[in-house]
Structure 1
Amino acid sequence: MYIIKSGSASSYCSVILEYGENTTSMSDKIKVLAVDDAPANLMILKGCLRGGNFELVTCTNAIDALQEFKKQYFDILLLDVIMPGIDGFELRKLIREVDKERPIIFLTAMIDDGNMTMLNQITWDSNTYYLNKVFDKKVLVQKITEVVNMHRTRQLDRVYRDNLESELKLAGDLQRILLPDWCILDDKVLVSSLYVPAMQVSGDIFELIRLDESRYLFFIGDIAGHGISAALYMATVQAILKIKAHEQNFTVHGLLADLNRFFCDELRGNTYMTALAVLFDFKSNHLVLHSAGHPPLLICPAGREPLFTAGENKGGIPLGWFANAEYRAEDNFEYDFDDDTMFLGVTDGVFDTAGEDGEFITKNELHDIVEALTADTDATVFPYRLKSMMEQMGYENISDDFTVVALQKRQCRADCIERLIPAKLSEVNKVATEFSSIAEDLRQISEIELCVHEFLNNVIVHGNAGSNQRPDLIYINIAKEKGKFKIRGLEHGKKWDPSNMENIDGRNAEDRSSPATSGRGMQILQAITDHVTYNSYCDLNETCFTLKSGEKNDN
């Protein structure tokens, strides 16, 4: 493992190498380990490297040399080829078991044969070099310095790349934290999102900000580029959204005008973004939308053909292109919607998804997929089923960040309860108790509590075991359909196969590597359910339990 420490401006950085428990440092001086069974040859090396920028350690045999190599750090090794016992080539093999890349220079006066056997033995290792023993001080010093500097540069480049990769991962993790959770559920709205970055750090952004009792700002955008700069721009845009959204006389076109000034003035036009800003009023069922060159919003009325908003044909200038761009009220798109209408916001990555033939999905194909799914898919799972269906049709190659957000006005029904909970055991009993309150029959109450307990415990204990991320959210609801209760759960845990529930095999209760499909809990679920259905769409698992008991106690 390499750990960089800052050195002086004129020197290399110091590199720490760890070998087991022993940690030794590489200083600015070049430390040389020379191995030769002839004392005269070692004396010549001492004379050539005396003073200056070198520190020399000598050994007359391979065993002593290997012990010294393991004991302290050396920048380079000078090895004789012909030595009694373990020769130079065998010593190199032993060295490579400890360090694969430490540079080695073979010093030899041997004359190679016509097949260049010796030279081939030396050069099969890319970090091994050759110098004839008939050398002068200048040639030796130049060769050692050149090889060590090249090796140090490679080390520093590798550490730089590793640090950069680590920073990119950190920036990507920060982005995921800044973005909304995959599901949002409150008293007015239900939102589900699927975010798939093409690289560790993406330029996609979406936000849902509640303005008052009934109004929400929905914002989705795509910042040009990737990397740490995109993450910083995204965080800044999110901060601006939260400030501007709560200003008096807020308008979507005014918001985009403010963001355009930020990109042009503060960022000096170094980047740009497309964006869609939508103001939803769920009391009057009215929306106002303004587009800045972004893909249109898809409106999906229940039982009717989906439609793309006309917003893409109004305004349409990406933020940051022109300082004098105008975002005017007359370019807003307005629409009155029904309670059961669903809305889909997407980024360019959806249309940049291609099949094996290189052809991208078209706007009409996306329209047809959405229309086919609308009949039996609600907002909670819609983005995931959309991408899954695209993959089944062959559109699997993502070349840009892929984001889909589904939004729907929440419908409150007396025969339905839905909750969004963190994947924590402390939540299970509360949900089970609340869900059982929908029933009046004692048998139904017991079955609901048992089903909720067993399902959530299985998901939380087994499905989310070993995760280092923040606890994921689980969506769960219960509804009465045709006289029977149906419990439905959505979560991002490990996959499981409920069809194997009947294969009771005495599973070890301590095994938490995957969701349980056997054991007493699975026997309970099998006994109280009429049937169980399971699907997984892009790592979102959907499990539905239909309980056996009807409206009345069968006894």
Structure 2
Amino acid sequence: MELFLAPLKERKPFIALIKDIPASFTKETLASQNIQSILALPIFAKGLLWGFVGFDDCTSERIWSDTERDLLELFAISISEAIERKQAEDELKAVYREIMDDLEIAQTIQKSILPPWFHLYGDIMISSNYYPWSKIGGDLFDCIMLPDNRYVVYIADISGHGIQAALTMTAVKAIFSMVIRAAENDPSPQTVVTRLNHVLSTRLFQDNYMTMCYCLVDLNAMTVTSLSAGHPPLMIYHMGTRATRLLDKKGDIPVGWIADYEYKEANTETTSFTAEEAICLVTDGVFECFDKDQQAVGIEGLCDVLREDIHLNDCIMLPHECYQALDARGYTNRNDDYSFISLQLVPSEKSKVMYLEVLSQLEHVDKAAAACEAFVLQSGRSELVAFNTRLVASEFMSNIVVHGLEKRSTETLSLKLSCEGEVALTIRDNSPPWDFPPREPDMPDFFDILNLASNTHGRGVQIMHSLTKSVTRTRVHLVNETRFVMKDS
């Protein structure tokens, strides 16, 4: 077909009466189709010959007019443009998929840098809800345990959004940890933030800056000292009265504005707190969310939400309940990262309430279940109730780890066991949402349904129902909460 293709490759038409074509494969091919006259024009896409479009006449030896030739040329150009658009769209989709894959990896890395959603640090427990506006964001927070029963807790917001803010956040997190360790002898807010500001201003920040709230928690004195560097203030939330205290009387400039700036103790605030209170830190994305009328909830509105819509007895679900309560009030329009952390004292060993952080690995599940049995016995309950509590804890968490979290070994489960009155076991996890099947006879095991590799039905759910008075499961934003009330015998 070289005789046919040669002019097309030169961006020229192939026009011929078949009888005039020299004997060749081209002539034989066209004649076999009873073609007597042909007009073909090339189709190019991105400089390469993609194909051709043509007219042929099988009834007469047609002489093609200029009008017919012009129409066919316009048609060929339209096809070329359509092909190039499709190729460009495919390339754009491929680039988009690659970017999204990279962002998924970046999101996983960023998540690993931040603390888990629930964590026990010595005598305090901390819960967090980090929900970036896009795949990744520029908020960061952490809790660092120091000697002498003191803790550094901070939350910060890098200026900007997206990849640049996320990359800056990663570097700031590492620098912050080094500054804290170097300042163990004097971890006061003014000292640490001054050093951090100097390092970041001279080595990292160019067009960036960072707002932050830095807190030093002293459990011996039961006080917290905070410095707000252009950041929303520290909040103290009382679980019983649901009242919120704001440490908003003083403040200072954001980190990165002036390289040699010295933060002053006079701009810090100190307050006492009790075991019934949670220390809360937020970024402005928590209260700068808008309703349909573009009205922001604001910091005072956030305090109203905490007072009127939240009913909890510990801090674990507070960041998640707050997000859901804001949604329920119609504040669903967000254009910034949502970061909310809350921390509270862990009850003393003499308390009849136990909290555990359980890493999503089966060996850790076994240890936690054994600890539940020991705690129930220690609380004066029967061996049968203690064993049944262990069985329910082990069965449920094992299935969450294997099926819900699909053996993601770095995830965290929160376990609360209360022996005040009824024995109640509450387990929180961040696996995908699902409903706990109701109590009914001959019920297939829900967890085996989740396990696509399984062709059998177990009895795990029925066993848990048989050992408990009630099972309730709810989802609050990104966290599932399952509560088992054990039978007395």
TM-score range, shorter chain: 0.7 to 0.9
Partner in structure 2 of residue 455 of structure 1: 396
Contact 1:298 1:308 in 2 (8 A): yes
User: Deviations 1:384-416 (Å, cap 9, x if unpaired)?
Assistant: 111111111111222101101011111124422
Q: Is the 8 A contact 2:172 2:200 kept in 1?
A: no
Structural mapping, 1:529-544, within 5 Å: 529-544=468-483
Provide the TM-score with structure 1 as the length reference.
0.72
* Alignment match of 1:426 (pick from 363, 371, 375): 363
1:495 aligned to 2:433? yes
Counterparts of residues 204-353 of structure 1 (less than 5 Å): 204-246=139-181, 247=183, 248-267=185-204, 269-304=206-241, 306-310=243-247, 312-353=248-289
Q: 1:487 to 1:509 in 2, by over 3 A?
A: closer
CA contact (8 A) 1:168 1:227 kept: no
Structure 1: segments with no counterpart, 5+ residues:
1-36, 50-58, 63-72, 86-107, 129-146
Distance 1:224 1:452, change over 3 A: same
Amino acid at match of 1:386: C
Between the aligned partners of 2:148 and 2:264, the Cα distance in structure 1 is 26
2:423 corresponding residue in structure 1? 485
Q: Tell me the CA shift for residue 535 of structure 1.
A: 1.2
Match among 335, 344, 360 for residue 408 of structure 1:
344
220 and 74 in structure 1: CA distance in 2 versus 1, 3 angstrom threshold: same
Superposition deviation, residue 122 in structure 1? 6.6
Q: Is the 8 A contact 2:154 2:214 kept in 1?
A: yes
Q: Displacement, 1:187? A: 2.9
Any idea what SS the aligned residue of 2:485 has?
A: strand
- Whether 1:443 aligns to 2:378 is no
2:13 counterpart of 1:42: no
What is the alpha-carbon distance in structure 1 between the residues aligned to residue 180 and residue 236 of structure 2? 23
Alignment check: 8 A CA contact 1:344 1:406 kept = yes
Q: Is contact 2:296–2:331 with CA below 8 Å preserved after alignment? A: yes
- Determine what percentage of the aligned residue pairs are the same residue: 25
Q: CA deviation at 1:123?
A: 2.8
CA contact (8 A) 1:473 1:491 kept: yes
CA distance in 1, matches of 2:199, 2:192: 11
Q: CA deviation at 1:536?
A: 0.5
**Aligned partner letter, 1:306:** A
Write the deviation string for residues 491-528 of structure 1: whole angstroms up to 9, x where unpaired: 012323235232634458753359x9x85222222222
Residue 290 of structure 2, aligned match among 354, 366, 379: 354
Letter in 2 for 1:367: C
Report the Cα offset of residue 364 of structure 1: 1.9
The one-letter code matched in structure 2 to 1:42 is L
TM-score, length of structure 2 as denominator length: 0.81
Please tell me the residue identity of whatever aligns with 2:385: Q
Total equivalences in the alignment: 446
1:123 aligns with 2:58: no
Calculate the aligned-residue CA RMSD, in Å: 3.4
Q: How far 1:320 sits from its partner (Å)?
A: 1.4
Counterpart of 1:396 in structure 2 is 332
What stretches of structure 2 of length at least 5 have no aligned partner?
13-24, 31-45
State the SS of the aligned residue for 2:285. helix
Q: Deviations over 1:70-115 (max 9, x none)?
A: xxx9943241423699xxxxxxxxxxxxxxxxxxxxxx96766799
* Higher RCO (CA < 8 A, seq sep 6+): 2
- Matched-pair contact (CA < 8 Å) for 2:279–2:344: yes
